[in-house]
Amino acid sequence: MRPESGREFCETAAVADVMQRVLALLAVLQSGRSFSGAELAARLDVPPRTLRRDIGRLRGYGYPVETRPGPGGHYRLAAGRAMPPLVLDDDEAVATLLGLAALGSTGSASEGSIDEAAVRAYGKVDQYLPKRLRPRAAALRASLETAPTPAPSTSAETVSRLAEAIAQEHTVTFGYVGAAGEATTRLVEPHRHLHLHQRWYLLGWDVDKRDWRVFRLDRLAGLRVTGRTFSPRPLPAGTGIDRLRAGINRHRRRVVLTVDAPVPAVADAFHRQDVVLSALAGGATRAELALDSWQWLLPGLGFLDAGFTVEEPEDFRTALRNFAARLGRAAPGPPPDGPEQHGPGGAPGTGTADPDG
């Protein structure tokens, strides 16, 4: 070990401690409140002199920290002023823009919706980026097109208020229209936001029904936070998404396949299905689906052009064997000598050009 290595390690640790303190200070100030110096020092467990140095560091980074000296004095993060550039690296900046573009392409962009807010943010986020990243952000925005994805719009305010209620453990009440069109009023202990298949949901404990329920946020209106607190409950499944999937798929059949193809290929084949994929040894994939009938397997399996085994259920296996026999009777003759012949686009008999050129 070089003689300087111990010293360099100590200096690196000291820098990490300073950054941790400054980030903790920023997190406290971003609450919007005013804090006395003594209160901040006690919260962060630092001496007043260290606090003043860290306040100076924040100002040096461009954060507008206001100071009011003397009795009743305080520190406060000023609102309504230009904030410093976002601390993003190149990849994070690209991911931010792509995420906003993808979110903005869903829904109907109605006023106050999440997708409409994403469109607005997409158009202005580069002004908060460091100068060196702004040309890349502008180039990305100019080169990008996203296809509209039909999905219900969800109120950004509803999502935000529910998030606060979840964090503060406050019950909420709202009007709700069910799938069959019936209108009810619900009193709910909110626990999780869920996002699946371009829909936003709330997982909560329905106080009147004394059971867990999942609510579509686009069917929710008149949200009111009661201020009445509740104690968190253990979730009814491994995750909130597990509970949501169980509800959506309660009238469907569980199907398990082993496919002789890698996960990305299987994901492409079943991209319109709710499928859970896991990689197996040798490049194969295990696929779990929830289907109304065995016929929904055929499009995906047909385009995969790979061997597969239906592990369960048994009646799906029987149905596929019978269908294979019907196909054999419909196309009598010797089997082909080579692999199945595909059109130029990769799908059997399409005869269309590859969209990638």
Given this model, what pLDDT does residue 356 score?
Answer: 41
The span from the CA of 257 to the CA of 268, in Å, is 15
- Would you tell me the crossing angle of helices 48-60 and 5-29 to the nearest 10 degrees? 80
**Do residues 262 and 283 make contact, with C-beta atoms less than 8 angstroms apart?**
yes
Q: State mean pLDDT over 263-267.
A: 93
Given this model, what pLDDT does residue 67 score?
Answer: 85
- The residue whose two tokens read 């719009």 is 153
Confidence of residue 132 (pLDDT cuts 50, 70, 90): confident
**Do residues 206 and 213 make contact, with C-beta atoms less than 8 angstroms apart?**
yes
Residue 290, pLDDT > 60, answer yes
Lowest mean pLDDT segment, chosen from 107-111, 161-165, 279-283? 107-111
Residue 274, pLDDT > 90, answer no
Read off the pLDDT of residues 181-225 as tens digits, 9 standing for 90 and up: 899 999 999 999 999 888 899 999 999 999 999 999 999 999 999
Read off the pLDDT of residues 2-26 as tens digits, 9 standing for 90 and up: 444 555 545 445 555 777 888 788 8
Q: State which H helix or E strand residue 168 sits in.
A: helix 156-168
Say which residue, 81 or 316, is predicted with more confidence: 316
Residue 351, pLDDT > 70, answer no
- Name the nearest CA neighbour of 202 among 187, 212, 214: 214
Structure token pair of residue 185:
């009023």
Please count the residues of the chain. 357
**Do residues 77 and 83 make contact, with C-beta atoms less than 8 angstroms apart?**
no
Q: State mean pLDDT over 322-337.
A: 81
Confidence of residue 63 (pLDDT cuts 50, 70, 90): confident
Q: State mean pLDDT over 71-82.
A: 73
Residue 257, pLDDT > 60, answer yes
AA identity, residue 15: V
State the average pLDDT for the chain. 82
Confidence of residue 113 (pLDDT cuts 50, 70, 90): confident
Given this model, what pLDDT does residue 166 score?
Answer: 94
Residue 126, pLDDT > 60, answer yes
The span from the CA of 56 to the CA of 77, in Å, is 13
Question: What does pTM read for this prediction?
Answer: 0.60
Identify any residues that bridge with 221 across adjacent strands, giving them in sequence order. Answer: 175
The span from the CA of 320 to the CA of 325, in Å, is 9
Given this model, what pLDDT does residue 272 score?
Answer: 81
Read off the pLDDT of residues 153-191 as tens digits, 9 standing for 90 and up: 888 899 999 999 999 999 999 999 988 889 999 999 999
